[in-house]
Amino acid sequence: MLLAGRIAFVTGGSRGLGRAICTTLAREGAFVAFNYARSDADADATLAAITEAGGRGSAHKVSVLDRAGLVALAKALDTTHGKIDILVNNAGFGQVVPLALMEEADWDAMLDTHVKGAFLATQAVLRVMVRERYGRVINVGSLAGVKMMQAPVHYATAKAALKGFTESLAKEIGRYGITVNCVAPGILDEGVSDHLPPARKEEYLRHCAVRRVGRLEEAADMIAFIASERASYTNGATLVVDGAV
């Protein structure tokens, strides 16, 4: 119960890594609110997983790019719970397309979802955290954002931007008792990796010291730890979870 009594908000929590994060935070004692953009059925499945883990949560159908909707959601959580302790900027998607064939809309969607979404969600909850002089902001990056490797250029660019966002924001708001960190997973067993061709996964496994892809739960466990008091002096860091590639 690393997070007993904490109030968490996870962006993009209806499936994949987002669902694993929600479930893990709930298992560790946090109340977990999450947003989603499309599938009500997926959101219901996440809520069921939270309940099964012994926790409580709420689902909110609002886009991570809807500034007014995020502000209203943050206000509702603050009104109901009196605080927001943890924000996990997880919303994102994968798309494998070479730069020469990439449409401008592809680039915009990738950067908007990963980077602008993190900006809007963080800004929405920040006033509450500053008021309470406490907070944990955790950005979900990627190995592709910290290491030179074969990955879609727009995806790697978005994740690298989150690393910079993490470091700069950590310096800006650390004085208020708020830490900002980034967790950068390698290839996991679900989610973005579903879009990778088999040859890419095989190449990854050849270089990975533990000779396997990661599990969603392993990345989620790291996020729960960083959100806890046991990581209270970890700030501005990017923690790579990749089995040593």
- Does residue 1 belong to any structural domain of this protein? no
Can you tell me which residue has the tokens 């007014």?
68
Residues pairing with 8 in the sheet: 32, 86
Query: What is the number of structural domains in the chain?
Result: 1
- Does residue 220 belong to any structural domain of this protein? yes
Residues pairing with 10 in the sheet: 34, 88
Predicted pLDDT of residue 194: 72
Predicted pLDDT of residue 201: 87
Instruction: Give the CATH number of the domain where residue 167 resides.
Output: 3.40.50.720
Q: Which pTM value belongs to this model?
A: 0.96
Q: Domain residues for 47?
A: 7-240
- Does residue 213 belong to any structural domain of this protein? yes
Q: How far apart are CA 13 and CA 17, in angstroms?
A: 8
3-state SS track over 172-216: HHHHHCEEEEEEEECCECCHHHHHCCHHHHHHHHHHCCCCCCECH
The reply to whether 155 belongs to the active site is yes
- Does residue 148 belong to any structural domain of this protein? yes
Quick one: CA dihedral 165, 119, 183, 31, positive or negative? positive
Q: Which of 36, 134, 155, 233 is catalytic?
A: 155
pLDDT in tens, the chain (245 residues): 999 999 999 999 999 999 999 999 999 999 999 999 999 999 999 999 999 999 999 999 999 999 999 999 999 999 999 999 999 999 999 999 999 999 999 999 999 999 999 999 999 999 999 999 999 999 999 999 999 988 999 999 999 999 999 999 999 999 999 999 999 999 999 877 777 788 888 999 999 999 999 999 999 999 999 999 999 999 999 999 999 99
Q: How far apart are CA 51 and CA 223, in angstroms?
A: 19
- Does residue 12 belong to any structural domain of this protein? yes
- One-letter identity of residue 80: T
- Does residue 2 belong to any structural domain of this protein? no
- Does residue 245 belong to any structural domain of this protein? no
Quick one: CA dihedral 68, 72, 73, 77, positive or negative? positive
Predicted pLDDT of residue 222: 98
Predicted pLDDT of residue 196: 77
Predicted pLDDT of residue 152: 94
- Does residue 41 belong to any structural domain of this protein? yes
Which residues, other chains included, contact 202 with Cβ-Cβ below 8 Å and sequence gap of 6+? none
